[in-house]
Structure 1
Amino acid sequence: MPFAPFVGVNHHGQSILFGAGLLSSEDTHSFVWLFRMWLDCMKGRAPKSIITDQDRAMKNAIATVFPETRHRYCLWHIMHKLPEKLESHAKFNLGLKTDIQSALYDSQTTTEFEESWGGLLMKYDLIGNNWLQTLYEERSFWVPVFLKSVFWAGMSTTQRSKSMNAFFDGYVHAGTTLKEFVAQFDNALRKKVEVETTADFNSTNQTIPCISPFNIEKQFQKVYTNAKFKEVQREFMGLMGCNCWLVSTQGCILTFDVLDEISFDEQTKRVHYSVYYNEDECEVKCTCGLFEMRGIICRHALRVCQLKNINVLPKVYFLDRWRKDLKRHYTLIRSSYDDVRGRLDTRNYELMIQRCSKLAAKISSNNDKVHAFLHYVDDFDKSCEGSTCQSTIQSKMANPKVVLDKGKKILSPNVVRGKRRPPNMRKVPLVEKLATKRKK
């Protein structure tokens, strides 16, 4: 029975599981059912982008259920087929393989790719090759230059999905019953949560030293998780291989050429990139598309910033997705597999959600009441930004009120007791023990 996981990445770049399904078959009908069930669990929020293998049934199902989602094929899966499909060609290892890779990875525009692709087909007499013709017809699904305007969070292959399958191998096997699978599924996810919690603790309490005197690096060091800051640092290290010069000026838009020396397989090649800099908006945009695809500013843009003596980047280049100082909403949702989430803030969050949902259902039909409520919330939100928040909350909590709602008493959060074991009997996770010890 096929196991179909929905895999993404968290703010540390770690693989996370959004859901999974067991299919009796892998046809379009089964995938449509699976995707609709997953969409229902996600409250109708479809993914912005999705990566799959070259599966025709999955492609048709995605077009049906996720019509607005950007779909791409696994690039690794396609490149892995090159030897199988073309190794019989006399010049496969004498230039063909290299020319295909160059057309894919070095093309800066779609026109440049199409010219390179057409040139190699003629050079190696491959115009009648059916497999290459099919790939070309579906080029918008897998060729990098057609995809670099879309955010992929650093994902370009389905290898994360395969690694997630391997992760569950330690918990389930072919003979696992459905009942056992549910229990083991929770155990596996609990382990994933522990790994993420440990990474959160390390990002908060461990500082990775900067490798340059560039002040922009310090900006990223302050707000990004350790894993993502290391990715940014790789771009700073790449500055040494970049040469940059101004080629044109049109009003406030400056265009720079950046020559980057890229090392791979003990070889080095030089690739030209164009960087556009808006002096009025302090905006940089590179043809490599790294920021658009991965949310990490590239070395080419950094080189222009260095040349223009820019020491502070605008907030737009610091994605909330990679920040370590933001509260993740999903950590406030209690789950069956995470003991760490049975905290006071989780119980308070659930209490507020329940109370607000009940109030929303009660007043949503009356515009005046809705506006009055939103005005009250805005005032309270503003008070929480200043020094008056604590005194305001303390004055409210000093006289906790009992609110009557259809005969039921709703106590303030400091009165309500959780349904779990008493605080002194709660099993304290290792990460929480370390944090408490550090504070002491």
Structure 2
Amino acid sequence: MDGRAPKAIITDQDRAMKAAIALVFPDTRHRYCLWHIMRKLPEKLGSHAAFNAGLKTAIQSALYDSQTCDEFEEKGGQLIQKYGLGENQWLQGLYNERSFWVPVYLKGVFWAGMSTTQRSESMNAFFDGFVHSGTTLKEFVDQFDNALRKKVEVETTADFNSSNQTIPCSSAFRIEKQFQAVYTNAKFKEVQREVWGMILCNCILIRKEGCIFTYDVLDEITTDDDHVKSIKYIVYFNDEEIDLKCTCALFEMRGIVCRHALNVYQMNKIHALPEKYLLDRWRKDLKRRYTVVKSSYDDLRQNADSRRYEFVVKRCVKLATRVSSSDAHVTTFMHHLEEFENQFKGLTLESGSTKVTETVVTDKGKKILSPHVVKGKERPPTKRKVPPVEKVATKRKKKQVIPFLQVFITCIAFHCMHISF
């Protein structure tokens, strides 16, 4: 990752992994997989007499409805006392590590929309239909390549559709049209869900302090059992900078402007959002760097960008070998490189990944069979500038993977880094 530690990382509950991450990535925000924890609820608490008579619902309410850490701790304490769970070691262990998995403690950290509460987002989904418990090592390498190729084909098709198909707006809301013009179809659908959700929101102005407006937004949410509940969110709006912060922290965590914020913008007759709310990572015209890296399936994609990229890299490596023998040569080279780079500032790069050919080769080359299977022997402070609206918000807060894959998972990282120079 260019010598930089990841800003956030998601794992299951493993003490050795937790200690290693804290040691190697001390500034990285580590969280546990919430899906794995919630999956254990019936196993650990299913024998409780009130599990299906209020306990399960109370746990979910404390997890998903709490707006502050204090609110979660209050609900958690009431829950433990009401249902007599003070002696439950599993629940006590989770509570002690609540900052690693409870959603309210993870607000403010950008997770790029990654949610570990759904089975489809696990590693198993990547290999569905390609490997099974009897897959050999040779077959695994072949099938991994096929799975990766399939993933690339799906992404290329999605890029093509985003560039050539336009999803119609569901309203006359101008901000929705702003997202329609720049976001991929998949992300625009997420924005539309927030636009639709505005119908169920009721926005009330509570106070005004200078240019900061504070709103209470009541949102009606329907649960899985068709029960409707009303949750209050607080939105802080800076009238001068058109800046906004909501206690749901959807934008900070997923990069999508929430329905509560959109409701406040509509009330204040704001017809266009500042550019900072339009993330580059969701744009349909983004040039993705990894699409030009040569891979084992490039001959199938016929990617012209990859060929050009490989040609430039080879020349750069050859030149780097020559100039690296002298500090003076390196200084001169970097000077010319910066001048050359300045010439391309502001240049819009058009990705070749949006071009999809009609014919896709599904198989190529002779398949080599695996050898006969032989039975084995038994045996963080921040220095960033804090916007005024965030200062007000902060001040108010103060008052299953198969065994075979587990063995050969390292093959994935090695195979992904297969670059030919």
Q: Structure 2 length as normaliser, TM-score?
A: 0.77
Match of 1:337 in 2: 297
> Which residues of structure 2 form unaligned runs of 5+?
349-353, 360-421
Fraction of identical pairs, as percent: 67
Match of 1:245 in 2: 204
Deviation for aligned residue 1:55? 2.4
Q: Would the alpha carbon gap of residues 430 and 184 (structure 1) be closer, same or farther in structure 2, given more than 3 Å must change?
A: farther
From 247, 261, 267, give the equivalent of 1:307.
Answer: 267
Deviation for aligned residue 1:357? 4.1
Which region of structure 1 is more displaced relative to structure 2, 153-162 or 183-192?
153-162
The residue type equivalent to 1:53 in the other structure is: D
Asked whether the 8 Å contact 2:292–2:306 carries over to 1, the reply is yes
Higher normalized contact order (CA 8 Å, seq sep 6+, divided by chain length) = 2
| Aligned counterparts of 1:348 and 1:284: Cα–Cα separation in 2 | 43
Match of 2:169 in 1: 210
The residue type equivalent to 2:6 in the other structure is: P
Match of 1:271 in 2: 231
Whether 1:111 and 2:75 are equivalent positions in the alignment is no
Match of 1:59 in 2: 18
Whether 1:282 and 2:242 are equivalent positions in the alignment is yes
Match of 1:349 in 2: 309
> Which residues of structure 1 form unaligned runs of 5+?
1-41, 386-428, 435-440
From 182, 188, 191, give the equivalent of 2:147.
Answer: 188
Q: Would the alpha carbon gap of residues 244 and 430 (structure 1) be closer, same or farther in structure 2, given more than 3 Å must change?
A: closer
Secondary structure, aligned partner of 1:311: coil
| Aligned counterparts of 1:116 and 1:132: Cα–Cα separation in 2 | 14
Deviation for aligned residue 1:44? 4.0
CA RMSD of aligned residues (A): 2.6
Q: Would the alpha carbon gap of residues 430 and 283 (structure 1) be closer, same or farther in structure 2, given more than 3 Å must change?
A: closer
Deviation for aligned residue 1:210? 0.2
Secondary structure, aligned partner of 1:72: strand
Deviation for aligned residue 1:91? 2.4
From 377, 400, 423, give the equivalent of 2:341.
Answer: 377
| Aligned counterparts of 1:86 and 1:233: Cα–Cα separation in 2 | 38
Deviation for aligned residue 1:263? 0.9
Which of the pair is proportionally richer in strand?
1
Deviation for aligned residue 1:68? 2.8
| Aligned counterparts of 1:158 and 1:236: Cα–Cα separation in 2 | 24
Deviation for aligned residue 1:45? 4.2
Match of 1:291 in 2: 251
| Aligned counterparts of 2:337 and 2:194: Cα–Cα separation in 1 | 47
Deviation for aligned residue 1:151? 1.2
| Aligned counterparts of 1:53 and 1:136: Cα–Cα separation in 2 | 16
Q: Would the alpha carbon gap of residues 94 and 300 (structure 1) be closer, same or farther in structure 2, given more than 3 Å must change?
A: same
Secondary structure, aligned partner of 1:190: helix
From 129, 139, 150, give the equivalent of 2:98.
Answer: 139
Secondary structure, aligned partner of 2:36: helix
Can you list the C-alpha shifts for 1:359-378, whole angstroms capped at 9, x where unaligned? Answer: 45555723355234312431
Q: Structure 1 length as normaliser, TM-score?
A: 0.74
Deviation for aligned residue 1:279? 1.4
Q: Would the alpha carbon gap of residues 249 and 383 (structure 1) be closer, same or farther in structure 2, given more than 3 Å must change?
A: closer
Deviation for aligned residue 1:430? 9.7
The residue type equivalent to 2:289 in the other structure is: H
Q: Would the alpha carbon gap of residues 321 and 384 (structure 1) be closer, same or farther in structure 2, given more than 3 Å must change?
A: closer
Map 1:70-85 → 2, pairs under 5 A: 70-85=29-44
Asked whether the 8 Å contact 1:320–1:326 carries over to 2, the reply is yes
Deviation for aligned residue 1:161? 7.2
Deviation for aligned residue 1:224? 0.8
Deviation for aligned residue 1:433? 3.0
Q: Would the alpha carbon gap of residues 127 and 175 (structure 1) be closer, same or farther in structure 2, given more than 3 Å must change?
A: closer
Which region of structure 1 is more displaced relative to structure 2, 67-76 or 273-282?
67-76
Which region of structure 1 is more displaced relative to structure 2, 305-314 or 129-138?
129-138
Can you list the C-alpha shifts for 1:146-202, whole angstroms capped at 9, x where unaligned? Answer: 001111122231746775424424333334332332222111111111111111111
Asked whether the 8 Å contact 1:51–1:156 carries over to 2, the reply is no
The residue type equivalent to 1:260 in the other structure is: D
| Aligned counterparts of 1:341 and 1:68: Cα–Cα separation in 2 | 39
